[in-house]
Structure 1
Amino acid sequence: MPREKLLKYGAATLSDAELLAIFLRTGTKEMPVLILANHLISYFGSLHAIIKASPKQFINIKGLGPAKYVQIQAVNELATRSLKTEVSEKPSFTDPDLVRRYLLNHFEQTAFERFACLFLNSKNRLITFEYLFTGSISQAQVYPRTVAQQCLKFNAASVIFAHNHPSGDVSPSESDKQLTQRLIETLRLIDVKVLDHFVIGSDKCFSMAEHQML
Structure 2
Amino acid sequence: MLLNQTNLLAEMPVQSRPRERLEQYGEKALSNHELLAILLRTGVKGTNVVSVALNILNTFDDLYYLKHVSLEELIMISGVGKTKAIELKAAIELGIRIAQAPQIKTGQITSSRQIGEMMSAEMGDLQQEHVIVLFLNTKNEIIKKETIFKGGLSSSVAHPREIFKGAVRYSAAKIVVVHNHPSGCPNPSEADIVFTKRVAECGDLMGVELLDHIIVGQNDYASLKELGIF
TM-score by length of 2: 0.50
Q: Distance in 1 between matches of 2:116 and 2:214?
A: 8
Aligned to 1:100: 116
Aligned to 2:34: none
Letter in 2 for 1:172: P
Letter in 1 for 2:218: S
Q: Distance in 2 between matches of 1:172 and 1:124?
A: 25
Secondary structure in 2 matching 1:189: helix
Aligned to 1:145: 161
Aligned to 1:189: 205
Q: Does residue 1:201 correspond to 2:217, yes or no?
A: yes
Q: Does residue 1:161 correspond to 2:180, yes or no?
A: no
Q: Distance in 2 between matches of 1:158 and 1:123?
A: 9
Letter in 2 for 1:200: V
Q: Distance in 1 between matches of 2:110 and 2:227?
A: 15
Are the structure 2 counterparts of residues 108 and 131 from structure 1 closer, same or farther at C-alpha, using a change threshold of 3 Å? farther
Alpha carbons 1:115, 1:163 under 8 Å: kept: yes
CA RMSD of aligned residues (A): 1.8
Are the structure 2 counterparts of residues 212 and 94 from structure 1 closer, same or farther at C-alpha, using a change threshold of 3 Å? farther
Aligned to 2:227: 211
Larger radius of gyration: 2
Alpha carbons 1:117, 1:129 under 8 Å: kept: yes
Cα distance, 1:181 vs. partner? 0.7
Letter in 2 for 1:122: T
Q: Distance in 2 between matches of 1:112 and 1:122?
A: 32
Letter in 2 for 1:160: V
Instruction: Map Cα deviations across residues 117-149 of structure 1 (whole Å, 9 max, x no partner).
Output: 11110111111211100016x845411111111
Letter in 2 for 1:115: V
